[in-house]
Amino acid sequence: MHIVPVVTLACRGTDSFYHAMALNRNEEHPLPPNTSLRVTESGLSMAHFNKFTSKASGSLGASEPSERVVSMALERTGPVTCVTIPDGLAMQAHGAFAGKELLDMVSLTK
């Protein structure tokens, strides 16, 4: 059996999963502004965004990750690496994959 690593990617300001994973991995992890901590009945620490600061919040923002998804990621045998990037870098990556047409459409929605 092959163990496949999982990498999650989120824009800063909509990265509730990133913060929940860090909190539950016993990492010393400060929460960003406008974010509160919620402890579930099962004892998981969840980052809850009271306000989004990323431009991606309209389509990609979840104020809090799914408790079941966080639990599954923590119990997973293989590695789960969570990465958070600024909006500008996400836009550059989208442009590299989808081309100028996508960036033109996205800029119209601002």
pLDDT tens for residues 38-55? 999 999 999 998 888 787
In Å, how far are 91, 95, 103, 105 from 100, measured between CA atoms?
A: 11, 6, 5, 9
Instruction: Judge whether 43 lies within some domain.
Output: yes
Range of the domain at 40: 6-108
Q: Domain count for the chain, please give it.
A: 1
Q: pLDDT digit string (tens) for 56-93?
A: 666 666 889 999 999 999 999 999 999 999 988 887 87
pTM for this model (two decimals)? 0.79
Does 14 map to a domain? yes
Residue 1 lies in a domain: no
Indicate the pLDDT class of residue 108, thresholds 50, 70 and 90: very low
**Three-state DSSP class for 98?**
helix
